Structure 1
Amino acid sequence: MYTRPSLRRTRRTRSRTTVRLTASLFTAAALLVSACSSGSSTTSSGGAADAALAALPRATPSALSSYYTQRLHWRSCGVPGFQCATMKAPLDYAKPGSGDVRLAVARKKATGKGRLLGSLLVNPGGPGGSAVSYLQSYAGAGYPADVRARYDLVAVDPRGVARSEPVECLDGRQMDAYTQTDLTPDDQQERNTLVTADKKFAESCGAHSARLLRHVSTVEAARDMDILRSALGDRKLNYVGASYGTFLGATYAGLFPDRVGRVVLDGAMDPTLDARRMTLDQTAGFETAFQAFAKDCVRHSDCSLGGKGTTPAQVGDHLKAFFRKLDQHPIPAGDAAGRKLGEALATTGVIAAMYDQAEWEQLREALTSAMKQNDGGGLLALSDTYYERDADGHYSNLMMANAAVNCLDLPPAFTGPDQVEKALPTFEKASPVFGEGLAWAALNCAYWPVKATGEAHRIEANGAAPIVVVGTIRDPATPYRWAQSLAGQLSSARLLTYVGDGHTAYGRGSTCIDTTINTYLLDGTPPSPRKRCS
């Protein structure tokens, strides 16, 4: 979604790092904005992707039979109420005998005693987000009691992610340096520094994860889910995916339409978009979210970006001026590793708070501390949460997996810095506050050691059971029009609209949204066409 990250971002409720009921912002580039009619498909910047994802043959190839018939050996995994197992899948589906990848699976058994509905697979987004951690930290207790009573809740970390043979690149100290790279270069020297940082990141991933990098695509992860469905003994796949998880779920539906059960895609991505258009849309989406934050901020006495009578545009100008100041003079942040708050980390901290309006108060406090007291600790904490960096300086593999999947799924948004320079006016028009940084952040795939195997395409999933596509009007990371477009592509989709702010809708507090989705999951009754909730 933002900078290195892409479609990820976790909402936090209890602790500042606990995923709520939605998607994530995981590391590399996805985004938000306006609207098109719900029956039309959004086109990519290079022209519409006319080709649709083709369904795989219904019969399981004999070469894959051992994977589909494997037994999962469940064991206790240290978290009360949860069981874990390891599943094997072919590293290369074109050559099933050439080696396996081992995937981490977790489940929480249904709590009810009545008629059970099988398994419900959950994915919080990313790419790069740990579905297992999400299940254990939130979904296992946070999903509605009626849903938990009738489904075994199941999660699998996709290949290359967290516990499933993770992609590895930079160590913690190197990641600290990478996340502080200036994304608004002022001269040729700073531009060269940015390019060098992206090249070093890519080369490190290639050196440490050469075996995996060609085989972490979304198509392969979706095929892994079908093996898991079979291993769980389910005839059809029931699934709730958020953010990037919607692309993963839609891809599954396109490949296996006859195996689609009850599927919810919340905070939908649009598979017809190329990488540049996706980044541009998301740039505009973060601007939309920032405008909403700005209007709210000036109504509070602790808004350091302006007071009563200040316009959102003026708030943006004040924030940009603050970023420019940090670019020249980073401020202390009380960090044990000696990091200071510069423009890059401050921008990430602000972006992080755009995913959920519940974090706006924390952002106001962090900005006040930074701008009035010269203390960057609050914004640094927001940035660290975004990047999944702990207090000891260790990072999850979120950013590494995110880049690995994104750079394999689509050709790069830009092939070099000259293209970024030419595109800057368009990006800055989409977001005067974030446009420049988001454009330069999209350069990371230009130097990836593995050529992209995917491309933009439609997903129709002809013959699939009803699929619920959820879109939030002012979602900063997955624009509402993306949900409209995906709902227009999927042959059996029902679009459910949340008129509100924030990234994704299920579990955000709308009784209408939650009741509609729960009814679908429990009874199989999809929402009425074009249903809207607030």
Structure 2
Amino acid sequence: MDISRRTLRAFGAAFTGVALLLGGCTSGASSPRKPPSTKASVRAAALAPYYRQKLSWRECRGGAGFECATLKAPLDYARPDGGGEVKLAVSRKKVTGSGKRLGSLMVNPGGPGGSAIDYLQSYAGIGYPARIRARYDMVAMDPRGVAASQPITCLSDKQMDAFTQTDQTPDAPAETRRLVASYQKFARGCAARSGRLLGHVSTVEAARDMDLLRAVLGDRKLNYVGASYGTFLGATYADLFPRRVGRLVLDGALDPALSSERINRDQTAGFETAFTAFAKDCVRRASCPLGTRDVAQARRRLSALFARLDAHPVPAGESRRLGESLATTGVLAALYDEGAWPQLRTALRSATRGDGSGLLTLADLYYERGADGSYANLMYANPAVNCLDLPPAFRTPADVSKSLAAFQKASPVFGKALAWAALNCAYWPVRPTGTAHPLRAKGAAPIVVVGTTRDPATPYTWARSLASQLASATLLTYDGDGHTAYGRGSTCIDTAIDTYLLTGTPPPSGKRCT
């Protein structure tokens, strides 16, 4: 069974070869009891032309009923009248039914770095329930720095190939130095190729762009479905503009109150949970490449495979060979969705026999590497946003070494690799602008937070935490496997979310689905 590129984009890029660092932001909502400052008034006046702009819609390339346009936004919201502009790609598919139009429904698949427009045109705009598409214009905007919205770039394709193959489980000082050098080269490339934009791709700025689009579309309030990192983007919007919240679904939630080290460690444990579920299913099968005894045996055999690939990469049907780093990425990519387990079993069986092509295919899908060797910008935008949103998890290799035991306790299989992956923001050329803290969104309309109990990328505890932070949130639980829940086969989940989007009535508090 193939994992489609659409599926991986829909899940978002919660794990990357350059680290997951997702965090909080500073609320821009001002108190209604205080008059605006002179500086704030000047800023509001400078923003007014952006809020009044008219979009020039045209048929998108490829047609299929989608329209495209370009939204202008200030590069720097602190200096909207003199800091330059960014051009943001927008797409929509207008309502297809005769019922009363409910406005626009904005979607974001996560990442950071996932293309919302690709997600809309390949899935949401045609695959969301017909009764939703009959009442809402389906809308997407690639966030600043992502895909069609002035994409961040960092390396050439050949350089990116080398980067993805860098040993991320250093066993000697020389290997540690090579890993650090790869992170430094990546960061220098981003600074050289992306310029000033690199300092203005934070989640707060992307959320402000969403409010611009809301207003330009003529919507009084924002209706939104965000998955994975898209939940943090949506929660940030709600905290900035609580009175402009319409119907918000936050599926596969992040916890904005956690430090980047804690986020990385929690996610490491999440992938261990997902691997355990895969292994329990695998060992019941006579053909399981990780043995047929128990999860412990499966864990040992996968660790042994990674160790062999670290020492001796195997052929993969092309010039690249499959080493430990690419193999780890391939396994983690397949753990996003239980539907990929058959493909993972086949790929692991081949790898144990010296053929790395199956795991390399999974890794390439995850990295959005095309058959021609070109990369989309997902893996460039991802650290660009993450390294702005939170201070780095670690600042030196010594910091990583001190935390290895905790990461390996969280996951004996993946802990070491994911701990070292969290070092990359230590070398980022732009200082972080965000901090970790709870998001409250006081005064917002009801918000639905969705959590999956065995989600590998956004652990269920994060959904519980976000739901407790947001003043008007209801937690909807999916007792199952995989990353995110909406549109993945649970009639209970889909009915609850569809009802909320159509009527504004959230599911009962504590509702659980299978």
TM-score norm. by structure 2 comes to 0.95
Q: Which residue of 2 aligns with 1:41?
A: none
Is the contact between residue 411 and residue 452 of structure 1 (CA under 8 Å) also seen in structure 2? yes
- Aligned residues: percent identity? 66
Q: Which residue of 1 aligns with 2:338?
A: 357
Deviation at 1:22, TM superposition (A): 4.0
Which of 478, 501, 505 aligns to 1:525? It is: 505
Secondary structure at 2:439's aligned position in 1? coil
Deviation at 1:313, TM superposition (A): 1.4
> Distance between the aligned counterparts of 1:442 and 1:273, measured in 2?
15
Deviation at 1:54, TM superposition (A): 4.9
Deviation at 1:31, TM superposition (A): 9.3
Q: Which residue of 1 aligns with 2:59?
A: 76
Q: Which residue of 2 aligns with 1:154?
A: 139
Matched, 1:171 2:156: yes
Q: Which residue of 2 aligns with 1:286?
A: 271
Which of 9, 12, 22 aligns to 1:24? It is: 12
Deviation at 1:25, TM superposition (A): 1.5
- Kindly provide the amino acid, as one letter, of the partner of residue 55 in structure 1: A
> Distance between the aligned counterparts of 1:406 and 1:57, measured in 2?
28
Matched, 1:405 2:385: yes
Secondary structure at 2:131's aligned position in 1? helix
> Distance between the aligned counterparts of 1:469 and 1:22, measured in 2?
17
Matched, 1:463 2:443: yes
The change in CA–CA distance for 1:65 and 1:156 in structure 2 (over 3 A counts) is: same
Secondary structure at 1:220's aligned position in 2? helix
Deviation at 1:78, TM superposition (A): 1.7
Structure 1 residues 420-429 or 20-29, which shifts more? Answer: 20-29
Is the contact between residue 317 and residue 357 of structure 2 (CA under 8 Å) also seen in structure 1? yes
Is the contact between residue 414 and residue 420 of structure 1 (CA under 8 Å) also seen in structure 2? yes
- Kindly provide the amino acid, as one letter, of the partner of residue 326 in structure 1: L
Q: Which residue of 2 aligns with 1:88?
A: 72
Deviation at 1:16, TM superposition (A): 2.1
Contiguous gaps of at least 5 residues in structure 1? 1-12, 33-43
Which of 451, 456, 468 aligns to 1:488? It is: 468
Is the contact between residue 19 and residue 424 of structure 2 (CA under 8 Å) also seen in structure 1? no
Is the contact between residue 19 and residue 137 of structure 1 (CA under 8 Å) also seen in structure 2? no
Secondary structure at 2:461's aligned position in 1? helix
Instruction: Give deviations 1:451-471, integer Å, cap 9, x for gaps.
Output: 101010110000000000000
Is the contact between residue 89 and residue 224 of structure 1 (CA under 8 Å) also seen in structure 2? yes
- Kindly provide the amino acid, as one letter, of the partner of residue 370 in structure 2: D
> Distance between the aligned counterparts of 1:15 and 1:228, measured in 2?
32
Matched, 1:343 2:343: no
Q: Which residue of 2 aligns with 1:329?
A: 312
- Kindly provide the amino acid, as one letter, of the partner of residue 422 in structure 2: A
Which of 445, 458, 479 aligns to 2:425? It is: 445
Deviation at 1:55, TM superposition (A): 1.6
Deviation at 1:370, TM superposition (A): 1.2
> Distance between the aligned counterparts of 1:20 and 1:355, measured in 2?
8
The change in CA–CA distance for 1:416 and 1:280 in structure 2 (over 3 A counts) is: same
Which of 108, 114, 123 aligns to 2:93? It is: 108
> Distance between the aligned counterparts of 2:105 and 2:224, measured in 1?
5
- Kindly provide the amino acid, as one letter, of the partner of residue 159 in structure 1: R
Deviation at 1:491, TM superposition (A): 0.3
> Distance between the aligned counterparts of 1:268 and 1:526, measured in 2?
17
Instruction: Give deviations 1:316-366, integer Å, cap 9, x for gaps.
Output: 11100011001111111002xx10000000010000011000000000000
Q: Which residue of 1 aligns with 2:364?
A: 384
Secondary structure at 1:18's aligned position in 2? helix
Deviation at 1:19, TM superposition (A): 3.0
Q: Which residue of 1 aligns with 2:29?
A: 55
Is the contact between residue 69 and residue 89 of structure 2 (CA under 8 Å) also seen in structure 1? yes
Deviation at 1:139, TM superposition (A): 0.7
Larger relative contact order, structure 1 or 2 (CA cutoff 8 Å, min sep 6): 1
Matches within 5 A, 1:94-493: 94-97=78-81, 98-307=83-292, 310-335=293-318, 338-372=319-353, 374-493=354-473
Q: Which residue of 2 aligns with 1:3?
A: none
Deviation at 1:300, TM superposition (A): 1.5
Is the contact between residue 26 and residue 434 of structure 2 (CA under 8 Å) also seen in structure 1? no
Secondary structure at 2:100's aligned position in 1? coil
Is the contact between residue 31 and residue 285 of structure 1 (CA under 8 Å) also seen in structure 2? no
Deviation at 1:518, TM superposition (A): 0.1
Deviation at 1:301, TM superposition (A): 2.2
> Distance between the aligned counterparts of 1:285 and 1:435, measured in 2?
11
> Distance between the aligned counterparts of 1:124 and 1:18, measured in 2?
10
Is the contact between residue 22 and residue 505 of structure 1 (CA under 8 Å) also seen in structure 2? no
Is the contact between residue 240 and residue 266 of structure 1 (CA under 8 Å) also seen in structure 2? yes
Deviation at 1:30, TM superposition (A): 4.1
Is the contact between residue 31 and residue 478 of structure 1 (CA under 8 Å) also seen in structure 2? no
> Distance between the aligned counterparts of 2:364 and 2:26, measured in 1?
38
Is the contact between residue 69 and residue 231 of structure 1 (CA under 8 Å) also seen in structure 2? yes
Instruction: Give deviations 1:222-246, integer Å, cap 9, x for gaps.
Output: 0000000000000000000000000
Contiguous gaps of at least 5 residues in structure 2? none
> Distance between the aligned counterparts of 1:192 and 1:21, measured in 2?
32
> Distance between the aligned counterparts of 2:481 and 2:9, measured in 1?
15
Secondary structure at 2:275's aligned position in 1? helix
TM-score norm. by structure 1 comes to 0.92
RMSD in angstroms over aligned alpha carbons?
1.7
Secondary structure at 2:78's aligned position in 1? coil
The change in CA–CA distance for 1:245 and 1:159 in structure 2 (over 3 A counts) is: same
Secondary structure at 1:455's aligned position in 2? coil
How many matched pairs? 501
- Kindly provide the amino acid, as one letter, of the partner of residue 312 in structure 1: V
Matches within 5 A, 1:492-503: 492-503=472-483
> Distance between the aligned counterparts of 1:148 and 1:29, measured in 2?
36
Deviation at 1:311, TM superposition (A): 1.6
Deviation at 1:53, TM superposition (A): 3.2
Is the contact between residue 273 and residue 456 of structure 1 (CA under 8 Å) also seen in structure 2? yes
